[in-house]
Amino acid sequence: MLEVRNLMVFFENALAINDLSLEVEAGEFVGVIGSNSAGKTTLMNSLSGLIIDMRIKEKRRGGERITIYGNIYYQGDDITETKPSDRVKKGIVLSRERHPVFPESSVLENLKIAGYLKKRSEVLETIEYVFELFPALKNLRSRKAGFLSGGEQQMLAIGMALVVRPQLLLLDEPLLGLSPMMQQAVLEAIVRLRASSGITVLLSEQFARPVLPLIDRGYVVENGMLAMYGTGQELMDNPEIKSAYFGIY
Ligand SMILES: Nc1ncnc2c1ncn2[C@@H]1O[C@H](COP(=O)(O)OP(=O)(O)OP(=O)(O)O)[C@@H](O)[C@H]1O
Ligand SMILES: [Mg+2]
Protein backbone atom coordinates (compact mmCIF):
# COMPACT_ATOMS: atom_id res chain seq x y z
CA MET A 1 0.00 0.00 0.00
CA LEU A 2 2.76 2.40 1.01
CA GLU A 3 6.38 2.19 0.00
CA VAL A 4 9.11 4.59 1.02
CA ARG A 5 12.23 4.15 -1.04
CA ASN A 6 15.57 5.71 -0.06
CA LEU A 7 14.01 8.82 1.43
CA MET A 8 16.36 11.65 2.38
CA VAL A 9 15.22 14.93 3.89
CA PHE A 10 17.62 17.79 4.45
CA PHE A 11 16.92 20.93 6.47
CA GLU A 12 19.58 23.14 4.98
CA ASN A 13 22.62 20.91 5.43
CA ALA A 14 21.28 18.84 8.27
CA LEU A 15 20.09 15.38 7.33
CA ALA A 16 16.86 14.56 9.19
CA ILE A 17 15.98 11.41 7.22
CA ASN A 18 18.87 9.40 5.91
CA ASP A 19 18.23 6.87 3.16
CA LEU A 20 15.14 5.44 4.83
CA SER A 21 13.09 2.71 3.15
CA LEU A 22 10.00 1.07 4.54
CA GLU A 23 6.80 -0.62 3.48
CA VAL A 24 3.29 -0.86 4.85
CA GLU A 25 0.87 -3.45 3.52
CA ALA A 26 -2.87 -2.84 3.44
CA GLY A 27 -4.45 -3.66 6.79
CA GLU A 28 -1.19 -3.70 8.72
CA PHE A 29 -0.41 -1.95 11.99
CA VAL A 30 3.18 -0.76 11.65
CA GLY A 31 5.28 1.11 14.18
CA VAL A 32 8.16 3.51 13.70
CA ILE A 33 10.14 3.54 16.93
CA GLY A 34 12.73 6.21 17.61
CA SER A 35 13.96 8.46 20.37
CA ASN A 36 13.83 12.27 20.35
CA SER A 37 14.92 13.84 17.06
CA ALA A 38 15.20 10.44 15.38
CA GLY A 39 13.20 11.81 12.46
CA LYS A 40 9.71 10.51 13.26
CA THR A 41 7.87 13.77 12.65
CA THR A 42 9.89 14.51 9.53
CA LEU A 43 8.95 11.07 8.20
CA MET A 44 5.26 11.59 9.02
CA ASN A 45 5.34 15.04 7.42
CA SER A 46 6.96 13.53 4.34
CA LEU A 47 4.24 10.88 4.12
CA SER A 48 1.36 13.31 4.64
CA GLY A 49 2.93 15.86 2.29
CA LEU A 50 3.17 18.60 4.93
CA ILE A 51 6.86 18.77 4.12
CA ILE A 52 5.94 20.02 0.62
CA ASP A 53 4.06 22.95 2.17
CA MET A 54 6.92 23.59 4.59
CA ARG A 55 9.35 23.64 1.68
CA ILE A 56 7.23 26.18 -0.22
CA LYS A 57 6.83 28.42 2.86
CA GLU A 58 10.51 28.36 3.73
CA LYS A 59 11.43 29.17 0.16
CA ARG A 60 9.03 32.10 0.08
CA ARG A 61 10.34 33.65 3.24
CA GLY A 62 13.94 33.01 2.27
CA GLY A 63 14.35 30.54 5.14
CA GLU A 64 16.22 27.29 5.29
CA ARG A 65 16.30 25.09 2.24
CA ILE A 66 14.34 21.85 2.54
CA THR A 67 15.49 19.20 0.11
CA ILE A 68 13.81 15.86 -0.46
CA TYR A 69 15.31 12.89 -2.30
CA GLY A 70 13.95 9.43 -2.84
CA ASN A 71 10.41 8.30 -3.52
CA ILE A 72 7.15 7.63 -1.76
CA TYR A 73 4.67 5.33 -3.47
CA TYR A 74 1.06 4.92 -2.44
CA GLN A 75 -1.06 2.26 -4.08
CA GLY A 76 1.44 2.14 -6.90
CA ASP A 77 1.51 5.92 -7.57
CA ASP A 78 4.55 8.06 -6.93
CA ILE A 79 3.24 10.69 -4.49
CA THR A 80 6.59 12.18 -3.50
CA GLU A 81 5.61 15.58 -4.88
CA THR A 82 1.86 15.32 -4.31
CA LYS A 83 0.46 18.10 -2.16
CA PRO A 84 -1.09 17.26 1.20
CA SER A 85 -4.71 17.96 0.23
CA ASP A 86 -4.44 15.54 -2.69
CA ARG A 87 -2.94 12.92 -0.40
CA VAL A 88 -5.89 13.32 1.94
CA LYS A 89 -8.18 12.69 -1.03
CA LYS A 90 -6.24 9.50 -1.66
CA GLY A 91 -6.94 8.44 1.91
CA ILE A 92 -3.70 9.36 3.68
CA VAL A 93 -4.54 11.22 6.89
CA LEU A 94 -2.11 12.37 9.58
CA SER A 95 -2.93 12.96 13.21
CA ARG A 96 -0.12 15.26 14.22
CA GLU A 97 2.15 15.29 17.20
CA ARG A 98 0.84 17.35 20.15
CA HIS A 99 -2.68 17.20 18.82
CA PRO A 100 -3.75 20.64 17.61
CA VAL A 101 -7.49 20.97 18.30
CA PHE A 102 -9.68 24.07 18.28
CA PRO A 103 -9.72 24.94 21.99
CA GLU A 104 -12.73 27.27 21.88
CA SER A 105 -14.93 24.76 20.06
CA SER A 106 -16.65 21.80 21.66
CA VAL A 107 -15.63 18.21 21.09
CA LEU A 108 -18.54 17.69 18.74
CA GLU A 109 -17.79 20.90 16.82
CA ASN A 110 -14.15 19.89 16.44
CA LEU A 111 -15.22 16.58 14.93
CA LYS A 112 -17.61 18.33 12.56
CA ILE A 113 -14.96 20.87 11.54
CA ALA A 114 -12.59 18.00 10.73
CA GLY A 115 -15.21 16.59 8.36
CA TYR A 116 -16.00 19.83 6.56
CA LEU A 117 -15.11 18.35 3.17
CA LYS A 118 -17.20 15.24 3.69
CA LYS A 119 -20.90 14.62 3.32
CA ARG A 120 -22.84 15.59 6.43
CA SER A 121 -24.50 12.20 6.80
CA GLU A 122 -21.14 10.47 6.47
CA VAL A 123 -19.61 12.75 9.08
CA LEU A 124 -22.40 12.17 11.59
CA GLU A 125 -22.07 8.43 11.06
CA THR A 126 -18.32 8.52 11.61
CA ILE A 127 -18.73 10.70 14.70
CA GLU A 128 -21.00 8.01 16.17
CA TYR A 129 -18.28 5.50 15.38
CA VAL A 130 -15.66 7.72 17.06
CA PHE A 131 -17.85 7.91 20.16
CA GLU A 132 -18.12 4.11 20.21
CA LEU A 133 -14.36 3.90 19.93
CA PHE A 134 -13.78 6.50 22.65
CA PRO A 135 -16.76 6.38 25.01
CA ALA A 136 -15.06 9.02 27.20
CA LEU A 137 -15.40 11.52 24.35
CA LYS A 138 -19.10 10.91 24.04
CA ASN A 139 -19.68 12.12 27.57
CA LEU A 140 -17.55 15.19 26.84
CA ARG A 141 -19.17 16.03 23.50
CA SER A 142 -20.28 19.51 24.62
CA ARG A 143 -17.09 20.43 26.46
CA LYS A 144 -14.69 22.97 24.95
CA ALA A 145 -11.71 21.06 23.57
CA GLY A 146 -9.34 23.42 25.39
CA PHE A 147 -10.61 22.05 28.70
CA LEU A 148 -9.92 18.41 27.87
CA SER A 149 -7.04 16.55 29.47
CA GLY A 150 -4.05 15.63 27.33
CA GLY A 151 -5.31 12.09 26.81
CA GLU A 152 -8.81 13.25 25.96
CA GLN A 153 -7.39 15.76 23.46
CA GLN A 154 -5.35 12.97 21.92
CA MET A 155 -8.48 10.86 21.52
CA LEU A 156 -10.20 13.83 19.93
CA ALA A 157 -7.27 14.36 17.57
CA ILE A 158 -7.45 10.73 16.45
CA GLY A 159 -11.24 11.07 16.15
CA MET A 160 -10.77 14.13 13.94
CA ALA A 161 -8.46 12.16 11.67
CA LEU A 162 -11.01 9.33 11.47
CA VAL A 163 -13.77 11.70 10.41
CA VAL A 164 -11.77 12.27 7.22
CA ARG A 165 -12.17 8.52 6.57
CA PRO A 166 -8.56 7.51 6.10
CA GLN A 167 -7.36 4.39 4.38
CA LEU A 168 -3.92 4.93 5.80
CA LEU A 169 -3.94 6.58 9.21
CA LEU A 170 -0.65 8.16 10.25
CA LEU A 171 -0.28 8.79 13.97
CA ASP A 172 2.71 10.84 15.08
CA GLU A 173 3.48 10.08 18.73
CA PRO A 174 -0.10 9.65 19.90
CA LEU A 175 1.11 8.60 23.36
CA LEU A 176 3.21 11.69 23.99
CA GLY A 177 2.65 13.15 27.44
CA LEU A 178 0.04 10.57 28.44
CA SER A 179 -0.04 8.56 31.65
CA PRO A 180 0.47 4.79 31.23
CA MET A 181 -3.25 4.31 31.76
CA MET A 182 -4.16 6.85 29.07
CA GLN A 183 -1.54 5.34 26.76
CA GLN A 184 -3.27 1.98 27.16
CA ALA A 185 -6.67 3.53 26.47
CA VAL A 186 -5.43 5.15 23.25
CA LEU A 187 -3.64 1.98 22.12
CA GLU A 188 -6.67 -0.19 22.86
CA ALA A 189 -8.81 2.15 20.77
CA ILE A 190 -6.35 1.83 17.88
CA VAL A 191 -6.51 -1.95 18.14
CA ARG A 192 -10.33 -1.85 18.18
CA LEU A 193 -10.28 0.58 15.27
CA ARG A 194 -8.27 -1.85 13.19
CA ALA A 195 -10.39 -4.82 14.13
CA SER A 196 -13.62 -3.08 13.23
CA SER A 197 -12.60 -1.02 10.20
CA GLY A 198 -9.51 -2.65 8.73
CA ILE A 199 -7.81 0.74 8.46
CA THR A 200 -4.06 0.58 7.88
CA VAL A 201 -2.15 2.30 10.67
CA LEU A 202 1.40 3.66 10.78
CA LEU A 203 2.27 4.94 14.22
CA SER A 204 5.45 6.63 15.41
CA GLU A 205 6.49 6.40 19.02
CA GLN A 206 9.40 6.72 21.33
CA PHE A 207 7.83 4.45 23.92
CA ALA A 208 8.47 0.99 22.47
CA ARG A 209 7.21 -0.94 25.45
CA PRO A 210 3.45 -0.52 25.10
CA VAL A 211 3.58 -0.47 21.29
CA LEU A 212 5.68 -3.49 20.31
CA PRO A 213 3.23 -6.13 21.60
CA LEU A 214 0.48 -4.67 19.40
CA ILE A 215 2.12 -3.94 16.05
CA ASP A 216 2.49 -6.37 13.18
CA ARG A 217 5.87 -4.96 12.23
CA GLY A 218 8.13 -2.20 13.38
CA TYR A 219 11.02 -0.09 12.15
CA VAL A 220 13.53 1.35 14.60
CA VAL A 221 14.94 4.66 13.44
CA GLU A 222 18.03 6.36 14.85
CA ASN A 223 19.37 9.65 13.53
CA GLY A 224 17.09 9.40 10.54
CA MET A 225 18.45 5.99 9.61
CA LEU A 226 16.91 2.56 9.79
CA ALA A 227 18.57 0.77 12.70
CA MET A 228 16.44 -2.36 12.87
CA TYR A 229 13.21 -3.84 11.65
CA GLY A 230 11.11 -6.90 12.24
CA THR A 231 7.84 -8.17 13.58
CA GLY A 232 6.71 -6.76 16.91
CA GLN A 233 7.74 -10.04 18.54
CA GLU A 234 11.18 -10.08 16.89
CA LEU A 235 11.84 -6.55 18.08
CA MET A 236 10.67 -7.36 21.60
CA ASP A 237 13.05 -10.34 21.69
CA ASN A 238 15.97 -8.32 20.33
CA PRO A 239 18.63 -7.79 23.03
CA GLU A 240 19.60 -4.35 21.72
CA ILE A 241 16.00 -3.18 21.82
CA LYS A 242 15.63 -4.66 25.28
CA SER A 243 18.52 -2.64 26.64
CA ALA A 244 17.79 0.53 24.68
CA TYR A 245 14.02 0.70 25.16
CA PHE A 246 13.15 -1.67 27.98
CA GLY A 247 16.07 -1.08 30.31
CA ILE A 248 15.70 1.97 32.46
CA TYR A 249 12.51 3.87 31.94
N1 LIG B 1 12.12 22.66 10.37
C2 LIG B 1 13.29 22.15 10.74
N3 LIG B 1 14.43 22.84 10.54
C4 LIG B 1 15.64 22.34 10.87
N5 LIG B 1 15.81 21.14 11.41
C6 LIG B 1 14.73 20.41 11.64
C7 LIG B 1 13.41 20.86 11.34
N8 LIG B 1 12.53 19.90 11.69
C9 LIG B 1 13.28 18.90 12.20
N10 LIG B 1 14.59 19.19 12.17
C11 LIG B 1 15.70 18.33 12.64
O12 LIG B 1 15.54 17.06 12.05
C13 LIG B 1 15.81 16.03 12.98
C14 LIG B 1 14.59 15.14 13.12
O15 LIG B 1 13.54 15.86 13.76
P16 LIG B 1 12.08 15.28 13.96
O17 LIG B 1 11.24 16.34 14.51
O18 LIG B 1 11.67 14.62 12.71
O19 LIG B 1 12.36 14.15 15.07
P20 LIG B 1 11.32 13.35 15.97
O21 LIG B 1 11.76 11.92 15.92
O22 LIG B 1 9.95 13.66 15.58
O23 LIG B 1 11.63 13.91 17.43
P24 LIG B 1 10.64 14.09 18.69
O25 LIG B 1 10.57 12.73 19.35
O26 LIG B 1 11.36 15.05 19.56
O27 LIG B 1 9.33 14.57 18.20
C28 LIG B 1 16.21 16.73 14.27
O29 LIG B 1 17.61 16.76 14.35
C30 LIG B 1 15.63 18.11 14.12
O31 LIG B 1 16.40 19.07 14.80
MG1 LIG C 1 8.33 14.39 16.56
User: pLDDT tens digits, residue range 76-89?
Assistant: 999 999 999 999 99
By 3-state DSSP, what share of the chain in percent is helix, strand and coil, each rounded to 5? Answer: 40, 25, 30
CA 177 to chain centre: 15
Is 4 within a domain?
no
What pLDDT digit, counting tens, does each position of 114-145 carry? 998 888 999 999 999 999 999 989 999 999 99
Name the residue of 7, 11, 44 whose CB sits within 8 Å of the most ligand 1 atoms, as the mutation to test its pocket. 11
Is 151 within a domain?
yes
Q: What is the CATH number of the domain that holds 148?
A: 3.40.50.300
Measured CA angle at 96 (ends 190, 135), to 5 deg: 40
Q: Which residues line ligand 1 (CB under 6 A)?
A: 11, 14, 16, 34, 36-42, 64, 97, 206
For residue 213, the enclosing domain spans: 26-40+84-245
**Mean pLDDT in residue range 198-220:** 94
Please tell me the total count of domains within the chain: 1
Ligand nearest the Cα atom of residue 96: 2
Distance (Å) from CA 42 to ligand 1 centroid: 6
Q: Return the closest-CA partner of residue 153 out of 166, 164, 167, 143.
A: 143
Is 228 within a domain?
yes
DSSP 8-state code for residue 69: E
* Three-class DSSP category at 43: helix
Residue whose CA is at the smallest distance from ligand 1 atom 31? 37
Is 53 within a domain?
no
Contact 161, 93 (CB under 8 A): yes
pTM above 0.75, yes or no: yes
Ligand nearest the Cα atom of residue 223: 1
Is 15 within a domain?
no
Is 211 within a domain?
yes
Is 188 within a domain?
yes
Is 75 within a domain?
no
CA 129 – CA 17 distance, rounded (Å): 36
Q: In what order do the strands lie in the sheet with 66-74?
A: 14-24, 2-11, 66-74, 77-78
